[in-house]
């Protein structure tokens, strides 16, 4: 699955770099106003405009129990939202998931430690009530510092 997404990520990065430095995606002369002016001569390149970026952090604690088993975890997450155009937003998240306690069947195969959880997504908002979103979340098979502890392995 990750090998299929690599060419898509490379294509997206190439188009963003081309937009940043060449002024040809989209051409500033033909822009409808939804994109900022692009290229070396522009006042504010698209990837530097702080008005388009929003950052947030969250801390979550969750627990479940029932049927002779229990599980609890915490998640610290940092999120960056960047509005590429008026209807299109790029979401970049990086979370650290830490299992706190498990008993019963929930404890089988659980390794204590911190799991690095990256998340990337694009959201296209057609209107206030309709949107199309695509996300990719990678969950590692083991905590950081052990074999399989990085999401891209």
7-11, 31-35, 78-82: least confidently modelled range = 31-35
Residue 76: what pLDDT? Answer: 93
DSSP, res 32: -
> How do the domains of the chain map onto residue ranges?
50-137
DSSP, res 17: H
Average pLDDT over residues 113-129: 90
Judged against a pLDDT cut of 60, whether residue 117 lies above it is answered with yes
Q: Which two structure tokens, joined as six digits, stand for 42?
A: 């522009």
Residue 144: what pLDDT? Answer: 76
pTM comes to 0.58
116 in Cβ contact with 137 (< 8 Å): no
Q: Distance between CA 150 and CA 142 in Å, rounded?
A: 8
Q: How far is CA 135 from CA 27, 148, 153, in A?
A: 28, 22, 19
Q: Distance between CA 10 and CA 14 in Å, rounded?
A: 6
Judged against a pLDDT cut of 70, whether residue 39 lies above it is answered with no
Q: Distance between CA 1 and CA 53 in Å, rounded?
A: 29
Residue 90: what pLDDT? Answer: 92
* 3-state DSSP assignment of residue 109: coil
DSSP, res 27: B
């Amino acid at each position: 699955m990750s090998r299929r997404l690599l060419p898509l990520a490379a294509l997206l990065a190439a188009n963003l770099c081309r937009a940043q430095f060449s002024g040809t995606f989209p051409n500033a002369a033909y822009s409808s106003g939804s994109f900022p002016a692009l290229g070396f001569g522009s006042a504010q390149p698209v990837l530097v405009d702080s008005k388009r970026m929003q950052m947030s952090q969250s801390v979550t604690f969750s627990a479940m129990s029932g049927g002779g088993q229990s599980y609890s975890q915490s998640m610290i997450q940092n999120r960056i939202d960047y509005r590429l155009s008026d209807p299109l937003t790029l979401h970049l998240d990086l979370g650290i998931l830490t299992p706190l306690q498990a008993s019963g069947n929930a404890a089988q195969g659980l390794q204590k430690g911190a799991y690095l959880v990256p998340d990337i997504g694009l959201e296209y908002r057609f209107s206030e009530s309709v949107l199309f979103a695509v996300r990719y979340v990678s969950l590692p098979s083991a905590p950081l510092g052990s074999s399989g502890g990085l999401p891209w392995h």
